[in-house]
Structure 1
C-alpha cells in the first residue's frame, strides 16, 4: 500500500520524461564510475607505476567524497535550484574525468578522483529531488523504477565495461579510457540538461542560507564512519576502529545542532522532522542494510573468479551481467506494482535476493572450476530481479511523504545511507572472505562464507520490512494535512 498524488494539469511539465532521461544518463555515468575502475586497477599499477596504497585510494577516495557531498549537495539544490546544481555537478564530473585520464602520476589521479567523487554526489542528489519535483503518484513510482534499473545496471555493468576497455586499448593505457569514455556522454548530457531541465528553483529555499556548521559536523561524522570501512584492508591495525565512537559523537553533535537551528527558526541542513515519518526513517534504514549485503556480493564474487579461478577481467565482468539484466527487469516491474502492493513488494524482492544468492552458494560448490560462473548465471538472474523489485519500490516509499522543497536533502540522506551500507558490507564480507582464504586457502569456501554473510545481512533487511508491514497493519500511519490519498 502506498500513496498516489494528483496535481493540476497545468503544473505538469510536458518535457518531464525527457528531463528524466537526462537525469538518469548523468546518474548512470556517475554510478558506473564507482565500479568500472575495479578491473582497471592492475592497468593503473602497470601504466602509472602506482602502488597498492595508490590504487586503494583511487577506489576509496571516490567513495568517500561521494558520500560526503550527498547531503550538502542535495540541500544546495533545494536552495538554489536543482537544474543549476545538476549542471554544475555534471560539468565538474566531466572535467574531472578528463583530468583523471590525463593524470601524469598516481598522486594526481587520486586527487582528481576525489574531485570526481564529490561531483558524482552533486549529480546523484539532484536526481531524486528532480523526480520528486517533476512527478507524482503512479508516474513518480515509474520514474523511481527507472532509477532503480539504472542503479542495478550501473553497478553490475561496471566490471564488464572496464574489461572491454582494457582489452580494446591495452594494459598500459587502457585505464585512461575508463575515464575518457565519460567525456562524450557528459557533454551530450550537459547540452540536453540545458534545454530540458526546469529552470524554476524550489521556493522558498532560494532565500535560505546553507547551514555551514551542520555541513562540517555531518561531513566529519561521515568521514570518521566511512574511512575505516573503505580502508579496512589497507589499515591493518585496530586503531582505525577508534574513529567509530568519534563518528557517533559527531552524529549526536550534528543532531543537537540541527535541533538548535530548528528552534531558532533557521533552515537546518537536514529537517529532522523527516525522521518522524515512519516511511522515511524505515526506508533509509532498509537502504543502509540492504546495500551492505547487495554491494558486497560483487566484491567477493569478482575476486573469486579472477584470483580463485583465473578468469580474465572481461570474463569476470561479464559474469555479473545476469544480475544486471534481472535488476533492470525487476526495477521496471517494481515501479509499476509498488502503487498497488507497497511494502509487500519489497519483502518479496528481498526474499528473492536471498534465495538467488543461496542458490549461487550451491552452484559454485556443485560445479567447481571454470564452469562456476555459468552455473551461477540463473541464480544471479533471480537475485537481480529481486534486487530491482526491492530498490525502486523502497525508494518510492521512502520519499513518498517528503515535501518537494526538502527532496534534495532527503534524497542525499537516502543515498548516503546506501554508501555507508556499501562500505560497511564490503568491509564485513571482505573480512570473512580474506580471513578464510588466509587461513585455509580455499577460494570456493571463502566465497561461500562471504556470500552467506551477505545473505545474513539481507535477511536482516527482510526482517525489518516484515516488521514494518505488521506495524502498519496494526497502527496505520496517520495522514498529514494535504497528503495524497491512499490507494489499496
Structure 2
C-alpha cells in the first residue's frame, strides 16, 4: 500500500491492486458526471408531479452546483488531513444516502434539500479521486490513467441526458423521474464495498489546514447574492431582495479581509489572494465564471423550452442534445492536440466567439419559427456551440496556470475548478431575470405557449456571456506550457482539475 509521498513512488512499492482501485474511482467519477446532467432532462416531470415553483426548479439545479463549489477546496483538504480513502468512503456514502433522499422526496422542498446535500457530498467525494490516482500510480502510468479518467468524465457528461431521458420516459415501476436518483443506490453500495477492499489509504505529509471561519462569510455572501435572484421574481421583488444583494458585497469583502489576515499569520487560506495580482490568473477566473454563467442559463432554459414549449418527449429532448456533447468532445480534442500547441490563446478566444455565434443563430431561428421550429433547426446551432465550448474549456486550466508559481499550483487549480461551478450556480439564478421573467405568471401549462419566445430572448444573454468570455481570455498568456521556473520544483498537491458542464 502506498503512503504519503508521491515523489517516492517506485516499482517495488506500486500497489498491485491499483487498476482494480481505478475502476472503483472511475465509477464514482461517472456517477458525479452523470448526476450533474441527468437532472435537467427530468425537470418538467419533477415540476408537474411535485408542483415545484420556478424558483424551486432553479434551486434543484443551482443548489447542487453552489454546494459543490463551496465545498470543493475544503473537501480536498479534508482528504489530505484525515486520509483520502476515508474521506472518499464518507463522500460515497453521503452521496448514496442523499440520492435516496432525492429519490423518495415527497415535496419540492425535500428534493431541494436533498440536492444541496448531494452537492456537498460530491465535494467530499470528487476531489479525492485525482488525489488517490496521483499517489497510487507511478509517474510513468499517470498520463495513461488521467487520459482514461478524462474519457470517463466526458462519457458521463455525454450519457447523462440520455440516461435521464430513458429512465424518465421508461417510467420504471411507475416511479416516473425518481429512478434518475435511485439508480445511484446499487452503484454507491458496490462502490463502498469495493473501495474499502481495494483502495489504499494516503495522507499528505504537509497538508494545508482548514479555514472554517473563512467558509462562513463566503457562504453567506454568495447566498445573499443568489437567493434574491432566484426567489425575487415569485415574491414580487420586495425591498429585502435588493438589500440582500447589496449586502453581499460587504460580506464578501469581509471574506477577503479574513483571507488576508490568515495569509499574514502564515495560515492556510481558502483562497490565495496573491494569485489575483497576476493578470492571467485573474482573467482566467473571470472567463471561467462567465463560461459557467452562460451554460447555467442555457441548459435550464433549453430543457424547459424543448419539453414544455415544443412538446418534446424526454427521450427526444435527450437525443437532440447529443450533437452538442459530441461536438464538445471533438472541439476539446482538436484544440488540445492540434490547435492550441500551434496558435495558443487565440484558439480559446475563437471558441468563445464560435459558441456565441451558435447562440445568435439559435436565437434567430427560435424567434423566426417559435413553437413551429423544425427539429433540425434546434440541433444545428448546437454544433458550433459545442465545438466552441470544447475549444475553450478543455485547454483553459493549462493556460491559467501558466503564470502561477509552482508552490501555488495546487491551490490555483482547485480554485479554477470552483469558479466554473459558482458561475453555473449564478447563471441558474439569473434565469429568473433572463428567462422566467418573460414567461409571466401561471403554471407550466399556461407558460408553455410563451416558452419559445422566452428561450429565444435568453439566448442573447448567453451569446453575450460567451463573447465576454472571449474578451476576458485576452489576459491569458499567448502560449500554453510556459509555466515559470522556480528552481527545485515541488510537485503540487493534486486538486480537482476536471469540470463538468451540464450538457
- 1:157-200 per-residue CA deviation (whole Å, 9 max, x = no partner) reads 54443232122126952222111111233234445545665633
Equivalent residue, structure 2, for 1:393: 395
- 1:364-403 per-residue CA deviation (whole Å, 9 max, x = no partner) reads 4566655533223233123212212221211233356768
- 1:16-37 per-residue CA deviation (whole Å, 9 max, x = no partner) reads 7876665454233224323423
Equivalent residue, structure 1, for 2:225: 225
**Could you tell me whether the CA contact under 8 Å between 2:41 and 2:317 is conserved in 1?**
no
Deviation, 1:296, is 1.9
- 1:105-145 per-residue CA deviation (whole Å, 9 max, x = no partner) reads 55443433332121022233344656776799999888777
1:457 aligns with 2:461: no
1:187 aligns with 2:189: yes
Equivalent residue, structure 2, for 1:304: 305
Cα distance in 2 between the residues matched to 1:141 and 1:188:
27
Equivalent residue, structure 1, for 2:96: 94
Equivalent residue, structure 2, for 1:122: 124
Cα distance in 1 between the residues matched to 2:310 and 2:39:
21
Structure 1 residues 53 and 245, CA gap change in structure 2 (3 angstroms) = closer
Equivalent residue, structure 1, for 2:329: 328
**Could you tell me whether the CA contact under 8 Å between 1:39 and 1:162 is conserved in 2?**
yes
Q: Name which of structure 1's ranges 109-118 and 367-376 shifts more when overlaid on structure 2.
A: 367-376
Equivalent residue, structure 2, for 1:216: 216
Equivalent residue, structure 2, for 1:315: 316
> Structure 2 matches for 1:88-237, cutoff 5 A?
88-127=90-129, 154=156, 157-169=159-171, 173-194=175-196, 199-205=201-207, 209-231=209-231, 233-237=233-237
**Could you tell me whether the CA contact under 8 Å between 1:148 and 1:328 is conserved in 2?**
no
Structure 1 residues 108 and 305, CA gap change in structure 2 (3 angstroms) = closer
Q: Name which of structure 1's ranges 144-153 and 299-308 shifts more when overlaid on structure 2.
A: 144-153
Cα distance in 2 between the residues matched to 1:142 and 1:361:
41
Structure 1 residues 247 and 366, CA gap change in structure 2 (3 angstroms) = closer
**Could you tell me whether the CA contact under 8 Å between 2:229 and 2:429 is conserved in 1?**
yes
- 1:217-270 per-residue CA deviation (whole Å, 9 max, x = no partner) reads 222223223333444554441532432332222222222222222222222233
Q: 463, 479, 482: which one pairs with 2:485? A: 479
Cα distance in 2 between the residues matched to 1:136 and 1:353:
38
> Structure 2 matches for 1:248-397, cutoff 5 A?
248-337=249-338, 338=340, 342-364=344-366, 369=371, 372-397=374-399
**Could you tell me whether the CA contact under 8 Å between 2:41 and 2:164 is conserved in 1?**
yes
Equivalent residue, structure 2, for 1:3: none
**Could you tell me whether the CA contact under 8 Å between 1:132 and 1:404 is conserved in 2?**
no
Cα distance in 1 between the residues matched to 2:143 and 2:102:
36
Deviation, 1:330, is 2.7
**Could you tell me whether the CA contact under 8 Å between 2:348 and 2:473 is conserved in 1?**
yes
Structure 2: gaps spanning 5 or more residues: 1-5, 442-446, 491-503
Q: TM-score, normalised by structure 1?
A: 0.80
Deviation, 1:459, is 0.7
Alignment RMSD (CA, Å): 4.0
> Structure 2 matches for 1:26-45, cutoff 5 A?
26-44=28-46
Structure 1 residues 348 and 53, CA gap change in structure 2 (3 angstroms) = closer
Cα distance in 2 between the residues matched to 1:414 and 1:285:
10
Aligned pairs, how many? 474
Q: TM-score, normalised by structure 2?
A: 0.78
Deviation, 1:56, is 5.2
Structure 1 residues 301 and 144, CA gap change in structure 2 (3 angstroms) = farther
Equivalent residue, structure 1, for 2:496: none
Cα distance in 1 between the residues matched to 2:193 and 2:384:
38
Structure 1 residues 20 and 375, CA gap change in structure 2 (3 angstroms) = farther
Structure 1 residues 468 and 180, CA gap change in structure 2 (3 angstroms) = same
Q: Name which of structure 1's ranges 361-370 and 221-230 shifts more when overlaid on structure 2.
A: 361-370
Equivalent residue, structure 2, for 1:247: 248
> Structure 2 matches for 1:32-111, cutoff 5 A?
32-44=34-46, 57-111=59-113
Cα distance in 2 between the residues matched to 1:224 and 1:407:
30
Equivalent residue, structure 1, for 2:421: 419
- For residue 30 of structure 2, give the secondary structure of its aligned residue in structure 1: helix
Cα distance in 2 between the residues matched to 1:29 and 1:225:
30
Cα distance in 2 between the residues matched to 1:196 and 1:293:
40
- 1:388-430 per-residue CA deviation (whole Å, 9 max, x = no partner) reads 2221211233356768886665444223311221133334455
Deviation, 1:92, is 1.0
